[in-house]
Amino acid sequence: MTRQDLSRRRFISSAGVTITLPLLPSLMYSRRAGAAAACTPVKRLLTYMFPNGHKLDEHVPATPGAGAAWTLPPMLVPMQSLKSDLLFVSGLENQQRRRQLGDHAIGSGSLFTARMPTLQQQVTNSSVDQVVADAVGGCTAIPSLQLGTHNIAGADQFGTYYTRNISWRGLSMPNSDGTMSYPQGAATPLGKEISAKAAFDHLFQGTDPATSTADAAMRRALKKSVLDAVVPHGDALKLTLNASDRIKVDQLFTGIRALEDELQKAPTSQSCAKPAAPAATQAFQSGQLESMHELMAIAFQCDITRVISFMMGDAQNQRDLSFIPEISALGGDSTDHTISHHMNAGSRLTKFRAAVLWKQTQIASFLTKLKTRTDADGQPLLHNTLVLISSDLSDGNAHNHDNYPMLVAGQLGGLVTTDRHVQYPVLKDYTMQKTFGDFYITLLGMYGVTVKTFGDDGKEALAWNH
């Protein structure tokens, strides 16, 4: 019997009723089970997507190497003070050399899954943040957070769940040799919270000092009874449904189990003072983005969660960037996606550079928060964290997924050696090409999850980390 089985049995008995096992074991939160890792040392992961791609020839460092042997490329100049905490990995690819249209959905849909999206269907595999959430999510009050800034992207052929979302929970299967498999199948897009106020409320829920311990315990017990009450409904309903409809109902009960898990934990004693709540409505450039960055730093510092995914904007983001002075000064087109098609010429190229630099400046300010705040072990937060930063496109103008940059920040407690540029060769034969899938095999290993394959074409671990 695997530990995951034990976990399921534990839930069943706690529900006080007989329930059928879920159709898809992966759909449940299997934290503290299967791939669970130790809670110390603290290991965090943040996956960060910015929209509409790179100015690739000015975003990839000129030479590989460490320390003085590599320098930041023009588009990363805003990160100069963070160089010693950065690892730039170039020469990887993800998914395709444009076998199919829908560039943005393919980019964002595969960014952290290494899996080609499925047209108009929610079929893929778990994203790496969710695999890591299974491993370390049980250590914190909130297993993982998904944050963003808007929900406006179109389907880009594949579906809005691929362009508005980068976190997926799909199938997970333990193998007899202790490794894990994350095959393609029906998967749940986790969506994202775009209100900093709502995210704040979620992070600091249940910390009302006015409530007495006894009252709080009774409230939790009643809440649990509510969840118990509907479990038999799900069981009975699933018997009457076809397989694909059962998946929808399983999604509901996966969420209900997650609520149950939370209720069974003792209320967390916040080690941090509750900060001031952000305003209920904020403009992206003058509040919302900064609030989200601040909340993510606080969530890590207070150890409320260790896994976050963040979308600075949806794939194919059409936000008006005229708030960037260099862009408004030139007049004319100013929406993010429009200027990404810059043709390497004219004012639009100037605007795209300004847009990319602005985005990197914002990311740098976030990373600086992680670098300047102290973790429980006295190290900077960033030292115990990995931040993976990339986009829904490799090159913004070409709208492709070749030579896809992956910027890594942080050392994950020393497992990753930074201040380096690791470059893999771009090969003619895609079957030999190193990919994001390979990159993620190594990544997951550092969080204690051993996989032999990942995504469509992750075949072997790559030693990018040191």
Partner 1 sequence: MESLKGLKTLGRVGLLLGIASCTGKVTGNKSLPGTNNPSSDPSATGSPGTGNPGTGNPGIGNPGTGTPATGNPGTGNPATGNPATGNPASMVPTSGLGSLTPPANAPTNPGSVALRRLNASEYNNTVRDLLGTQLTPATGFPSDDLGGEFTTVGSALSLSPNYVREYENAAFALMDDLFAPAAAARQKTIVTCSVDTGGDACARMIVTAFARRAFRRPATAAEIDALMTPVAAAKTLGATPTDGLKSALAAVLMSPYFIFKVESDPAGAAGPHRLTAYELATRLSYALWGSMPDDMLLAAADAGQLTTDAQLTAQITRMLADARSSALLDEFAGAWLDFKNVEAHEADATAFKTFTPAVAHSMRLEARNFIQDFMTSTQPVTAMLTANFTYVDASLAKLYGLSATGAKPGVDGTWRADTTGSQRSGLLTLGSLLATTSLPTRTSPVKRGDFIFSRLLCGYIPPPPDNVSTSLTVDASLTLRATLALHRANPSCAPCHNIMDPLGLGLENYDAVGSYRTMEGAVPVDATGKLSDGTPFNGAKELGAALAKDPRFSPCMTQKFMTYAIGRLMNQPDDTDWANYLAHQAQAANGSLSSVIRSVLSSEAFRSRQPAL
**Contact assessment for residue 36 and residue 265, using Cβ atoms and an 8 Å cutoff:** no
**Whole-angstrom Cα distance, residue 390 to residue 114?**
13
Taking the complex as a whole, the smallest distance from the CB of residue 209 to partner 1 amounts, in Å, to 20
C-alpha separations of 205 from 197, 200, 295 in Å: 12, 8, 14
| Interaction of residue 334 with partner 1, rule CB under 8 A | yes
| Interaction of residue 342 with partner 1, rule CB under 8 A | yes
Taking the complex as a whole, the smallest distance from the CB of residue 35 to partner 1 amounts, in Å, to 18
| Interaction of residue 97 with partner 1, rule CB under 8 A | yes
Taking the complex as a whole, the smallest distance from the CB of residue 263 to partner 1 amounts, in Å, to 10
Taking the complex as a whole, the smallest distance from the CB of residue 258 to partner 1 amounts, in Å, to 4
Name which of residues 233 to 292 contact partner 1 (CB under 8 A): 233-234, 236-237, 240-245, 247-249, 251-252, 254-256, 258-259
Q: Nearer Cβ to partner 1, position 303 or 456?
A: 456
Taking the complex as a whole, the smallest distance from the CB of residue 333 to partner 1 amounts, in Å, to 6
Q: Nearer Cβ to partner 1, position 17 or 21?
A: 17
| Interaction of residue 156 with partner 1, rule CB under 8 A | yes
**Whole-angstrom Cα distance, residue 380 to residue 400?**
36
Name which of residues 18 to 37 contact partner 1 (CB under 8 A): 29
User: Which residues on adjacent β-strands are paired with residue 374?
Assistant: 380
**Whole-angstrom Cα distance, residue 153 to residue 313?**
9
Please choose, from the candidates 166, 152, 150, 153, the residue with its C-alpha nearest in 3D space to the C-alpha of residue 109: 166
Beta carbons within 8 Å of 132's beta carbon, 6+ residues apart: 43, 45, 306, 307, 444, 447, 449
| Interaction of residue 326 with partner 1, rule CB under 8 A | no
List for the chain the helix, strand, coil content (%; round to 5): 40, 15, 45
| Interaction of residue 51 with partner 1, rule CB under 8 A | no
| Interaction of residue 428 with partner 1, rule CB under 8 A | yes
CB count in 10 Å sphere of residue 268: 15
Q: Which helix (H) or strand (E) holds 391?
A: strand 385-391
| Interaction of residue 69 with partner 1, rule CB under 8 A | no
Strand-strand pairing, 404-409 and 385-391 = antiparallel
| Interaction of residue 123 with partner 1, rule CB under 8 A | yes
Q: Nearer Cβ to partner 1, position 89 or 194?
A: 194
| Interaction of residue 161 with partner 1, rule CB under 8 A | yes
Number of shown-chain residues binding partner 1 (CB under 8 A): 110
Q: Nearer Cβ to partner 1, position 63 or 176?
A: 63
Q: Point out which span in 156-164, 288-296, 445-453, 458-466 binds partner 1 (CB under 8 A).
A: 156-164
Name which of residues 360 to 419 contact partner 1 (CB under 8 A): 395, 397-398, 400, 402-403
| Interaction of residue 306 with partner 1, rule CB under 8 A | no
| Interaction of residue 466 with partner 1, rule CB under 8 A | no
Q: Nearer Cβ to partner 1, position 328 or 368?
A: 328
Please choose, from the candidates 385, 359, 388, the residue with its C-alpha nearest in 3D space to the C-alpha of residue 370: 385
Name which of residues 182 to 201 contact partner 1 (CB under 8 A): 184-186, 188-195, 198
Strand-strand pairing, 65-66 and 385-391 = unpaired
Q: If you count DSSP H runs as helices and E runs as strands, how many of each does the chain have, helices first?
A: 12, 14
Taking the complex as a whole, the smallest distance from the CB of residue 342 to partner 1 amounts, in Å, to 7
User: Which residues on adjacent β-strands are paired with residue 380?
Assistant: 374
Taking the complex as a whole, the smallest distance from the CB of residue 155 to partner 1 amounts, in Å, to 5
Please choose, from the candidates 326, 204, 222, 329, the residue with its C-alpha nearest in 3D space to the C-alpha of residue 267: 204
**Contact assessment for residue 271 and residue 302, using Cβ atoms and an 8 Å cutoff:** yes
| Interaction of residue 216 with partner 1, rule CB under 8 A | no
Taking the complex as a whole, the smallest distance from the CB of residue 215 to partner 1 amounts, in Å, to 10
| Interaction of residue 6 with partner 1, rule CB under 8 A | no
**Whole-angstrom Cα distance, residue 55 to residue 197?**
33
Taking the complex as a whole, the smallest distance from the CB of residue 345 to partner 1 amounts, in Å, to 7
Residue 288: both structure tokens together: 């919302």
Taking the complex as a whole, the smallest distance from the CB of residue 351 to partner 1 amounts, in Å, to 12
Q: What is the largest CA-CA distance in the chain?
A: 68
**Whole-angstrom Cα distance, residue 99 to residue 187?**
23
Name which of residues 436 to 465 contact partner 1 (CB under 8 A): none
Taking the complex as a whole, the smallest distance from the CB of residue 100 to partner 1 amounts, in Å, to 5
Q: Point out which span in 2-10, 74-82, 147-155, 411-419 binds partner 1 (CB under 8 A).
A: 147-155
**Whole-angstrom Cα distance, residue 233 to residue 252?**
11
**Whole-angstrom Cα distance, residue 342 to residue 330?**
14
| Interaction of residue 116 with partner 1, rule CB under 8 A | yes
